[in-house]
Chain A
């Protein structure tokens, strides 16, 4: 049945037929994958791993359905575009959902500028924002003028957002602020510095890495250079953080207090003793209209569900996504279940 003509003649340009590439092996792999996919799609269970410690769950904390919640308009919960934001967005959305509201998730909006614009224009009804970021990015408060204290910063955010018909809900216990991080070996070599001031004079040969815009930001490298007088041997712009330490592209990086990698003990951070960095607690920003709709009971749910979020807990949740590569949705649900907020 096969043609006696050579493949070249069958396949070459001016003949009419075409040739099929070698298909058997890729087809076998694809069939196996598809079979596995099908089984996975059907047998989707998300009860792995997170529920083991629930034996002590205080069932009294379970979120109760708020009467009338189901008849309120759908609440769209958004988030910015990194791990912690995905987790928080899911936590708030699932909590409101458990309270009986109709909730839609619109996570991964983009940077704070995009997210806040979406909030103001009503594309989303709420999203979690960092207090320090809100003041510097939206209300143009110079970094040096931001209050150094958690409550004062939040109060200022609340006052400013109120002018735009947005309510800032009470802040989380944890703050996610910048920290200079390095490997444990380097930390030992530098004499186990405790604070950024301790680093003075020791960083000339070290390369520092951060997000591309960090170099010129007063709440990033520029501020560190000015406030602490630290001079680095070079700046490496990278979207990755701890990977650059691993592959020796940089020695010190700008990390965040709740980074998952910090839970591994391989890295050490130094304290911001001169409080260069503003407080960065999370406050759920919500349009006034939606805030009225969820009412005081809804506000209580939000406060209740974020109470256990200490730095250690948030770091653990981030680790589950960034290190264990779990889904943010699953991590959020496991958190809510372990704390007894949902069944």
Chain B
């Protein structure tokens, strides 16, 4: 056990260095005492993920709808997506620093960019895969282009769209762990502060993975609610 000696007013502890924390181990006591340190990074992580997926979804969905009608847009947009996908997230965070400065905004810009790829690709694919017969039948019934899109194509593409949303969300949680390179905080900042400390990795890692799984589940629930006809089919 550690003993204490008074030197001036501050206690100087006599250490043998054999404590759980000093050995970078997994220390439940330390975790209980220091859990509050993870609150702000965790909230920031949620913020980064949810906001960038929301913004990315809106933009990507709109782009995919436009590209669905104006086919000539598909190759350039897909090519851009390919290129962006190949840029490592750490690199993108750093490349944006001179342009958008250091902070949350830069983190969001990078995360939105990655989200765009997944959602755009999946929405496009979903719309592509709508059976020709359904489209023809709808046209035959006299639906306008807009009605066709919103009443037939999008609903039939929903599973694909949700798949893209789920992929984008879980991936973004992972990428947001590196957002601290842009000065945007998040759980990655805590991890990086003491990467050899098992307790730290355990808590921050569990929170990050747990967040990904929970968000994934939430989207799955929304999908289940929004596609009642598939529920009927499955029953």
Contact = CB atoms under 8 A, between A and B. Distances in A.
Nearest to B193: A108
Contacts, number: 127
Contacts of A317: 10
Q: Main SS of chain B's interface residues?
A: helix
Interface residues of B, number: 51
Contacts of A319: 13, 15
B235 A1 contact: yes
Contacts of B42: 37
A20 B12 contact: no
Interface size class on chain A is 35 or more
Given A53-B9, A316-B10, A16 B160 contact: yes
A76 to B, nearest CB: 15
A29 B21 CA distance: 23
B202 to A, nearest CB: 10
A129 B42 CA distance: 32
Contacts of A56: 6, 9
Contacts of A52: 4, 11
Contact of B33 (A18, A48, A264): A48
A304 B49 CA distance: 45
B209 A323 contact: no
Contacts of A340: 9
B10 A261 contact: no
Interface string B129-171: 1000000000000000000000000000001101100100000
Interface centre among B10, B206, B213 (most CB of A within 10 A): B10
Nearest to A5: B234
B39 A41 contact: yes
Given A44-B36, A263-B15, A313-B7, A325 B210 contact: no
Interface string B15-59: 111010110000100101111111100100000000000000000
Nearest to B233: A3
Interface stretch (B71-79, B91-99, B112-120, B214-222): B214-222
Contacts of B234: 1-3
Given A54-B9, A308-B9, A313-B12, A266 B206 contact: no
B197 A27 contact: no
B15 A53 contact: no
B214 A30 contact: yes
B213 A21 contact: yes
A312 interface: yes
Nearest to A317: B10
A16 B159 contact: yes
A324 B166 contact: no
Interface in A200-222: none
A264 B13 CA distance: 9
A326 B16 CA distance: 17
A33 B203 contact: yes
A83 B21 CA distance: 16
Indicate the member of B12, B206, B230 with the most A CB atoms within 10 Å. B12
B19 A323 contact: yes
A149 interface: no
Contact of A17 (B27, B35, B197, B230): B230
B8 A26 contact: no
A327 interface: yes
Interface in A150-191: none
A240 interface: yes
A27 B213 contact: yes
Interface in A32-63: 33-34, 36-37, 40-41, 44, 48, 50, 52-54, 56-58
Contacts of B162: 18
B159 A40 contact: no
Interface of A: 1-3, 16-18, 20-21, 23, 26-27, 29-30, 33-34, 36-37, 40-41, 44, 48, 50, 52-54, 56-58, 240, 243, 261, 263-266, 308, 312-313, 316-317, 319, 323-327, 335, 338-340
20 contacts: A16-B129, A30-B207, A33-B207, A33-B210, A40-B36, A41-B36, A44-B36, A50-B11, A57-B9, A240-B196, A263-B15, A264-B17, A265-B17, A266-B16, A308-B10, A312-B12, A313-B12, A323-B22, A327-B37, A335-B10
- When A and B form their complex, which 3 residue pairs have the shortest distance between CB atoms, in order from nearest? A30-B210, A264-B17, A40-B35
Interface of B: 4, 6-13, 15-17, 19, 21-22, 27, 30, 32-39, 42, 129, 159-160, 162-163, 166, 194, 196-197, 199-200, 203, 206-207, 209-211, 213-214, 216-217, 220, 230, 234-235
